[in-house]
Amino acid sequence: MTAPSAPGRFFVVGIGPGDPELITRKAERLIGAAPVIAFHAGVSKDSHARRIAAELIPAGVVEEELRYPVTTGTTDHPRGYVGALADFYDDCEARLAAHLDAGRDVVLLAEGDPLFYGSSMYLLDRFRDRFSVEVVPGVPAFAAATATVPAPLVRQTDVLTVLPGTLPEPELARRLADTDGAVIMKLGRTFPAVRSALAAAGRLEGALYVERASQPEERWLPVADVDPDSVPYFSLIVVPGDSARPASAERLRGRAVWSQTAGSEPEKVRSGTRPRPAELLVIGLGPGPDGWLTPEASAALAEVEHVVGYAPYVNRVPQRAGLQRHASGNTVEVDRARFALDLALRGERVAVVSGGDAGVFGMAAAVFEAAADPAHPEHAGVPVRVLPGVSAVQAVAARAGAPIGADFAVLSLSDRLKPWSVVERRLHAIGEADLVLGIYNPASRSRREQVVEMQKILLEHRSPETVVVVGRDVGRDEESLTVTTLGALDTDTIDMKCLLIVGASATRAEPNGTVWTPRWVE
């Protein structure tokens, strides 16, 4: 009895962007020794991958052409485009698995690099747990495009972002504004929106269009000069890091030098050698929806040159040409404020943004704290104006009804900037005063006990039947509103996405779910 043969090995081989001379020596060796060569092909086109590797494919080898049933067109498949592609990959899997089960190695040709927006990864996903799998990297298309230009893509500490042109235009514009160098793939029909996003991000000048990089038909030209009707699939856009506005290397180098002589800035302003400080705006964006952004705030954001803030809030500001974005992480509020004050001191128009209302546990206090720091006296001369926004407690209260229709207090449970003993004293005082209480920052992954202690403390002063409103992600797609009681509150479900409103003794919950607090006290 003959022993069954060992399964074949599955090789996913990158063959580069088009020039056969860019195929690696390892890829060449595997292609030349393979008993089965597989490659994708368009609906009615010859396989580009096979054309690249044609001279390396041995005579008599088994070839498996994997021809797509649909790419960007329409389909009559009962499950639409997704169903047609799922059936296609099922068929590809069955065809190649038959060879592998019979002990024959299979080399799947992949244009560019197999794991960089490559179709081959879908078969790799299906085979990696069934067969021996090896991936051979290839020269990606953007590397060939950059060499074609040629222009430095990124240097030193520049950040490179690779973006699909299929992103929504506002999202694409925001990401282009936030990076130094960029590569935009997947053009074709997306090109007009991509060019519009580049303009909105202020990156159209310097952006380069490259078509069929490394192939005989290759060409490149400024994106602004491209005819949108002429853009094929085999094209991309390179945005060199050196084309970024002075917001990157030059501006940051200038700021580092200036900070060493910051004490002389007021004198420079008085002498007229520096521009007078611009007014620094601190803007509340509201809790989330665009409809909750005030007209005043919207008009101000349309005029500033810089937006500074915590990244999720900066991301909410629409990108436009001339707007520079400076996003940072959480817990660096004063550093962020100093940076904004530095910009305003140079005469640049700056907005510091916060979620909700900037004056309610937001950036307004941090800006005034930084401006009053005696270590940076130059900041005291920067005029600051705070533009109000809809606060989170207002948004949650409005969703519930009118729980803050009478006297109320607002408290943050975070003990990052104040000791917990202070929070405890304030909770006791609010509980004893029988005030409605709005609670910000109730819990986080590392801070779970405070909300439990809050519940215990308030129960010393309030009935377990006291109405509690839990608002989560209010104003966003994931919004939920729960009406419960102080005794029944499940603290394990509370996190930083929640805002709590604990009612007073007079707060009522109606049968229809509405919560309100009478304006009178009996």
Interval 274-306: pLDDT, tens: 678 999 999 999 998 889 999 999 999 999 999
- For the beta carbon of residue 262, count every other beta carbon within 10 angstroms: 15
Contacts of 122 (CB under 8 A, 6+ apart): 89
Nearest to 102 by CA among 94, 111, 113, 90: 94
The ranges of the chain with pLDDT < 70 are 1-4, 72-73, 245-274
Nearest to 158 by CA among 183, 134, 141: 183
Nearest to 100 by CA among 124, 127, 67, 120: 127
CATH class of 393-516: alpha beta
Q: What is the pLDDT of residues 377-426, one digit of tens each?
A: 999 999 999 999 999 999 999 999 999 999 999 999 998 889 999 999 99
Cross-strand pairs, 386: 282
**Residue 264's pLDDT is what?**
44
Domain-wise residue ranges, the chain: 9-138, 143-243, 262-387, 393-516
**Residue 258's pLDDT is what?**
29
* Nearest-angstrom CA–CA distance, 72 and 57: 30
CATH class of 9-138: alpha beta
Q: Is the dihedral of CA 402, 404, 405, 406 positive or negative?
A: positive
Which strands, in side-by-side order, build the sheet including 306-310? 324-328, 306-310, 350-354, 280-284, 384-387
Backbone angles phi, psi at 347, to 5 degrees: 95, 10
* Nearest-angstrom CA–CA distance, 487 and 470: 14
Q: Do domains 143-243 and 393-516 have the same CATH topology?
A: yes
* Nearest-angstrom CA–CA distance, 258 and 79: 62
CATH class of 262-387: alpha beta
- CATH no., domain 143-243: 3.30.950.10
